[in-house]
Amino acid sequence: MEARSWTALRLGLIFVAVAGLAVDAYVHFDLASGYAAVRTSTLSQADLFRAEGVAAIVAAVGLIVRPRRYTAAFAFLVAAAGTAAVLVYRYVDVGAFGPFPNMYEPIWYTKKTVSAWAEGIAAVAALALLVVLQVRSRTVRAARVREAVR
């Protein structure tokens, strides 16, 4: 694959992942105050929403500032965890456990749906970026070895 093609693919995946993480952060910060009453003695659902928003921002900034395998892996973990959490708490009544409140909410509404899609798309893009960066790294390394042998 040509260097320009690698760059275009990498930038496209970064853009998609960052956009999904930005939507994720916005929705979680926007909805957080409405979930302050869902709490245990340690944590509220609002606290968890804000933590998800901060993690999404950190992951997005990491991809922009330093698009490497470790930042792609972190972005994937943040987005995939957010997707998993919204799906689990939509379909399974886990109940409260440890410091976590019971966050079961068996409905879909617009912001929740948008956040779930954004997280899912960001997770796929970040995982694809991780694979592209790994393949590119191996390709470059193999080319350097071939040059060194000559």
Domain that holds residue 124: 3-149
Number of other residues whose CB lies within 10 A of the CB of residue 44: 16
What's residue 1's pLDDT?
63
Six-digit token string for 141: 């390394």
DSSP state of 37: T
Nearest to residue 49, comparing CAs of 88, 14, 101?
A: 101
Check if the beta carbon of residue 48 is closer than 8 Å to that of residue 100.
yes
**Total domain count for the chain?**
1
pLDDT value at residue 149: 77
Which pTM was predicted?
0.90
Cα-Cα-Cα-Cα dihedral of 136, 139, 140, 143, to 10°? -170
d(CA 63, CA 70) in angstroms, rounded, equals: 9
DSSP 43: -
| Model confidence pLDDT, tens digit, residues 60-117 | 999 999 999 999 999 999 999 999 999 999 999 999 989 999 999 999 999 999 999 9
Question: Which tokens sit at 135?
Answer: 């393949």
pLDDT in tens, 5-48: 888 999 999 999 999 999 999 999 999 999 999 989 899 999 99
Q: What residues contact 61, with CB distance under 8 A and at least 6 apart?
A: none
